[in-house]
Amino acid sequence: MADGRCAEITILGSGPAAVATACGLRRIGHEVLLIGLPGNTACEGVSARTLALLRQWGLAAAADSIEGPGERQGSWAGRDLVDASEYVVDRAQFDRSLLTDAASREVTIVSDRVIGYARGGRLWRVRTRHACIDCRVVIDARGRRVRRALRKGPDLVAVCQRFRTRQTTKVLTRIEAFPQGWCWFAESGHGMGWLQAVCSCNEPSLRFGLERHLGSVLAAVPQTAAALSAATPAGTALARAATAALSVQPDEPGVFRTGDALVALDPLSGQGMYEALRSATVTVAAAHSYCSTGEWDSVVRFVRERSCDLWRRRSEMAALFYEQQAVHTPSAFWVRSAEAYAACQDVDQSAATGEPRIERRPVLNGSLIELRRVVVTAQSPRGVWRVDSVDLAELVDFLSATHTMDVEHIAQRFSCSPRAVAHAMQWLRTHGLLRPAAIMAPEMTMA
């Protein structure tokens, strides 16, 4: 590829967030260039809803490469897992299948290593080892990496080792906690096993080498050690960053982050790929909106607010998991990790205070991000635009002007079903906006 190549949108990375974004943008007519070198050799566990989301994106080859479901064994906070299941993803095979899916959607793929990107006049210039590409939009989907972080969880590292196991058709995973951390073991059913042990970056046993560290971990988790008793290591152990982080979305028109590059979750959640795929929906709309309208402020505001909301919800869940285990195993690792997650949730919550109100905020409307009047409450600080297709702000205006509670009449006015109106009115009632004295006057419907 020669220097001076141009593209409308360039995506950096080749993982699920990158490919889903690329396919979504191609679906609505954008020219997309995907730059990356697949090199992920890990194994991951994913849920049934992650598999369903892959198929919704049309990533059939990637979905078909996933093994399972298999039984999920182990215990948490002293309680055995019951009727749990999990799918196993071999990322090397999975990432190759992702590129097959991208090619089938006519995404242009460049196998190269990205050096960096910078503004070059009116466009962005992406530099790789072998070329320069000018583009209007850059989407950084290169995954978890050290960068400016708005919030971080406890500093964690995952030490991983691949194993050769007995040849069976059984897929299974096991999770087990110990005083210094937790481990996850997966068996694919094709003679491959994977062990991942997560601990503090300051764990003393790491000083003596990764293999010896894993030996000390297995000594603390007898059930996992028994599952590996007949297995032999394949290759060398490796260490991977496992710190959860909310990165800073750049305030540079035309640059977006997505997936783990924007919000990296604690691996204990098991929802990293699911949220990466969900983030692609926002990124597609953000890039499409910017390319179509040139609007930046509302688009970047939506991306930021959505990522902060995701971080808050997922860090609350991580704090709960770590607190549960800390009660059962009150070691320094579990107590400090739980405290770290509890302390990192204070992302801007200014919108979560005060009385319910109506403001103009960015919302996702199909494939576009638009400014709309939404109802902001403490429970919904980003605002709620519609309930069952009924525009809540317009409904508040109508109720304030007419003082009617006739669902049939309102349904005719809004060209929707009485059931939808009833749901919307119930939402307003639940949030204190439908009491006779609480219906907003028309002049109060704009914050």
Position 413 scores a pLDDT of 92
State pLDDT tens for residues 42-79: 999 999 999 999 999 999 999 999 999 999 999 999 99
Position 257 scores a pLDDT of 96
Position 308 scores a pLDDT of 93
In angstroms, rounded to a whole number, what is the distance separating the alpha carbons of residues 337 and 122?
Answer: 45
**Residue, of 356 and 259, whose pLDDT is higher:** 259
Q: Above 60 in pLDDT, residue 347?
A: no
In angstroms, rounded to a whole number, what is the distance separating the alpha carbons of residues 207 and 36?
Answer: 33
State pLDDT tens for residues 171-229: 999 999 999 999 999 998 888 999 999 999 999 999 999 999 999 999 999 999 998 98
Average pLDDT of the chain is 91
The pTM is what?
0.91
| Cβ(12)–Cβ(35) below 8 Å | yes
Q: Is the peptide bond before 69 cis (omega within 30 degrees of 0)?
A: yes
Q: Above 80 in pLDDT, residue 168?
A: no
Position 435 scores a pLDDT of 62
Alpha helices in 167-209 (DSSP H): none
DSSP structure class, residue 9: E
Query: CA 109 from chain center: how many Å?
Result: 23
Q: Which residue has the tokens 């403490």?
A: 378
Q: pLDDT band for 2, please (50, 70, 90 cuts).
A: very low
Q: Which of 348, 368, 372, 346 is nearest to 359 (CA)?
A: 372
Position 339 scores a pLDDT of 95
Q: Above 50 in pLDDT, residue 231?
A: yes
State pLDDT tens for residues 357-415: 999 999 999 999 999 999 999 888 889 999 999 999 999 999 989 988 899 999 999 99
State pLDDT tens for residues 307-339: 999 999 999 999 999 999 999 999 999 999 999
The mean pLDDT of 92-103, rounded to a whole number, is: 96
The identity of residue 94, as a single letter, is F
Q: Above 90 in pLDDT, residue 105?
A: yes
Structural domains in the chain, CATH included, are 5-42+89-149+247-322 (3.50.50.60), 156-241 (3.30.9.100), 350-444 (no CATH)
Q: pLDDT band for 438, please (50, 70, 90 cuts).
A: very low
Position 346 scores a pLDDT of 61
